[in-house]
Amino acid sequence: MRRVVVTGLGLVTPVGLTTDTTWTNLLAGKSGAAPITKFDPSRLQVRFACEVKNFDPLLVLDRKEARRYDLFAQFAIAAAEQAVQQANLMPGFPDVERTGVLIGSGIGGIATFEEQCSLFLEKGPDRVSPFFVPMFIPDIAAGLISIRYGLKGPNFATVSACASSAHAIGTSYDLIRDGKADAMVTGGTEAAITGLTIAGFQNMKALSTRNEAPELASRPFDKDRDGFVLGDGAAVVILESLEHAERRGATILGEVVGYGLSGDAHHMTQPAPQGEGAQRAMRDCLVSGNIDPHEVGYINAHGTSTDQGDIAETEAVKAVFGDHASRLIFNSSKSMTGHLLGAAGGLEFAISLLVTATGKIPPTINQVTPDPECDLDSAPNVMVERPVSVALSNSFGFGGHNVTLAVRRFDS
């Protein structure tokens, strides 16, 4: 099996429009939660979210493209442009037929869907845009990126709720290891902060209702957590075989060394008891990468700030790592970014990559009252500096989809 490395990274998040800004704000413990500005939320019970601020699509797209692309696709292209630039793949990729694109999204262009549905109901079918279908389908982000760079290798999307982009990165890793591609542009994107989305999540009692203090709302592992905070954004990485990266003199940011996946077969939205499916995903990841559990120094938790989810994941980590669980850091960046749904796994893989590269671990903010059932070290409220050889990233989705990715500090 070929070794797979990361050579480029691009982020568009609620705490920054670039990788550097996002990373700086995460290390500082800055929350991206604030009152909603994209639309009037006054009729909703939940009136805040982690929006991407000051995003200008015209920095990467022309006006015609911006009008024809839903925001989730615009985010993906902006993140991909950053990753391609960092990987030094401009003005062109070495072999476009051996380079693919795999971008995950849990929902796709729901803002476009809502807008066009309203036009259809209020003004009739003739007012529906001819671009409606290609604007909202979840796979269009991958398609547009492949068109932008002329990439003719494997090209598709993964849709598995909040595990979508983790599946995308893991599947891209497999494609390169198995020799079906030399490089992949992969990750995830989401732009689901809309009235309909929030109404659906609030009515199932999944969201925090701290309208008076949004920045304090996302509090994974805290005893007083009351639900997750919805977020938007995108994360894209460039994966290459080690030989491909070395041949073109690329700077290597880290190495992907494991991919585990499983299904709960339990419930539409609730995790399996004791995180049984999560346990199997983590064990599968460790086995696939021949990783000794004691090598793992950091786990980026799925950690959504929901009651059952945080407890089940904590139990799963204890079951897999035993005594070592108390020695590693197991924390949640969703305390700052909110939950990016289908893009969450990509962002959290990127954070895990940066942890191994820098030895700096962002905090889990809003830790005020410890939950005795979530008693692992979450780096509460303050950044931790500690060398990390191997980091894991957990992503779990409605429907019982579980993914764990492993990244190792690169050693030639």
By annotation, the residues acting in catalysis are: 162, 302, 339
Contact predicate 58/129, CB 8 Å = no
CA distance 312 to 293: 19
DSSP string, 86-108: HTT--S--S-GGGEEEEEE-SS-
Say whether 334 sits in a helix, a strand or coil. helix
Give the start-end residues of each E strand in 130-232.
155-156, 183-190
Q: Do residues 26 and 382 make contact, with C-beta atoms less than 8 angstroms apart?
A: no
- Comparing C-alpha atoms, which of 363, 373, 395 is closest to residue 219? 363
| Rounded distance between C-alpha atoms, residue 317 and residue 308, angstroms | 14
CA distance 174 to 193: 32
